[in-house]
Homo-oligomer: A and B are copies of this chain.
């Protein structure tokens, strides 16, 4: 086990210096819960983002994609309860008005804000409520981010935050973040919103007080997203709104991070960790699920094959329902791998549950069936599927599919 370059710490987007946050109930959600979130930096931030590759992109995604990546931003404004997706030119105008209000009221007219929305697709934003909410949130900005993390929740059952600290030239540099699930979760984001990307609304907002250029920050974010948010699935449906954004304000006072430096590697490691922890929280809070499965596909002929097979297995309706039934139905695993497009060697398949082999060289290890059944009763387990076709592997974080998942998704 190698030494970790970072130290996990408490909190979320306000863990790094120079960020304030707020979350208020603006009445966008009918149930009166928190639904408007603000994250504001005391100084302009380098930023980077990853956006849904869905051809139908929500208005706030289109708005952010149109912002020059090298231009600093002042913060983020987000709402839950309405996705502002499939809302045409009116929706685009509303996203722009939401940004203008946040910039003028919370950002004192400085650098532009990033915008995000999540909720039902197809309804127009209630702009009066959005405006009132931004004013109320701006009044409550503080070095406390729990209400902010709650305000982006939709069907989530708990707020999701993570933070970490590294040392750069003797000074503390911090990273923090928050995210939300819990439905329409199968992100496949890229920095341009264009394919190909390795493939909820899933929103994740990250902050850091590191001093880093937007180009370098984007490279770090691309890697972190590829290893975390783009490797999860709950229901297999990629949202119109998926957004990950990171803001770097340099408030730590540590020297700037440079390509090739040890400090940048430490930063990347901490960012990877936060992104993965947040992504795993989304999976754990999937709508109605009872199992979290870390799915490792190995023995693939290429990395692309490993990812393809992992995605097919992790999204298969029949695989996911068999997990719900705690049935080690390995035939369904390899049926899904087989139709994924990946090369599969039917004579050399393997399946291991928490290290216990159920299948080796395509033969059932009868002595282990009982142990594997016991592992399937656990709320989380690791399943390794060997395709017998090469030496590449890939990991995917997924869930079972239950009657409750169906019930929760019948209406919205």
Chain A: number of interface residues, binned into ranges: 35 or more
- A-B pairs with the 9 shortest C-beta distances? A121-B331, A325-B410, A56-B338, A403-B403, A321-B409, A54-B338, A238-B339, A122-B331, A55-B338
Q: Chain B contacts of A364 at CB under 8 A?
A: 122
On whether A411 and B325 interact (CB within 8 A), knowing A56-B334, A339-B188, A344-B55, the answer reads yes
A sample of 16 inter-chain contacts (CB < 8 A) reads A53-B339, A55-B346, A56-B334, A83-B331, A86-B331, A121-B332, A237-B319, A237-B339, A238-B339, A240-B335, A240-B338, A317-B317, A318-B409, A321-B409, A322-B410, A329-B411
Which A residues are closer than 8 A to B by beta carbons? Answer: 53-57, 83, 85-86, 88-89, 120-122, 183-184, 188, 195, 199, 235-240, 316-319, 321-322, 324-325, 327, 329-332, 334-344, 346-347, 349, 362-364, 401-403, 405-407, 409-412
B55 touches A86 (CB 8 A): no
Q: How far is the CA of A401 from the CA of B337 in the complex (A)?
A: 22
Q: How far is the CA of A242 from the CA of B172 in the complex (A)?
A: 60
Q: Chain B contacts of A344 at CB under 8 A?
A: 55-56
On whether A335 and B184 interact (CB within 8 A), knowing A195-B341, A411-B322, the answer reads yes
On whether A324 and B184 interact (CB within 8 A), knowing A331-B83, A331-B122, A362-B86, the answer reads no
Q: How far is the CA of A164 from the CA of B407 in the complex (A)?
A: 42
A317 touches B88 (CB 8 A): no
What's the nearest-Cβ distance from chain B to residue A59, in Å? 10
Tallying the copies of this chain within the complex gives 2
Q: How far is the CA of A402 from the CA of B406 in the complex (A)?
A: 6
Q: Which of B195, B329, B337, B409 contacts A322 (CB 8 A)?
A: B409
Secondary structure dominating the interface of A: loop
Q: How far is the CA of A317 from the CA of B339 in the complex (A)?
A: 18
A406 touches B406 (CB 8 A): yes
B411 touches A334 (CB 8 A): no
Q: Chain B contacts of A334 at CB under 8 A?
A: 56, 86, 121, 240
Q: How far is the CA of A347 from the CA of B343 in the complex (A)?
A: 40
Q: How far is the CA of A362 from the CA of B407 in the complex (A)?
A: 28
Q: Which of B236, B337, B346 contacts A316 (CB 8 A)?
A: B236
Q: Chain B contacts of A406 at CB under 8 A?
A: 321, 324, 401-403, 405-406
What's the nearest-Cβ distance from chain B to residue A240, in Å? 5
Q: Chain B contacts of A239 at CB under 8 A?
A: 335
Residue of B nearest to A53 (CB): B339
Q: How far is the CA of A88 from the CA of B360 in the complex (A)?
A: 12
B53 touches A237 (CB 8 A): no
Q: How far is the CA of A409 from the CA of B400 in the complex (A)?
A: 12
Residue of B nearest to A56 (CB): B338
Residue of B nearest to A199 (CB): B339
What's the nearest-Cβ distance from chain B to residue A357, in Å? 14
What's the nearest-Cβ distance from chain B to residue A283, in Å? 15
Q: How far is the CA of A56 from the CA of B334 in the complex (A)?
A: 7
Q: How far is the CA of A24 from the CA of B322 in the complex (A)?
A: 30
Q: How far is the CA of A381 from the CA of B344 in the complex (A)?
A: 39
B238 touches A335 (CB 8 A): yes
Q: Chain B contacts of A316 at CB under 8 A?
A: 236-237
What's the nearest-Cβ distance from chain B to residue A318, in Å? 5
On whether A330 and B122 interact (CB within 8 A), knowing A55-B339, A184-B318, the answer reads yes
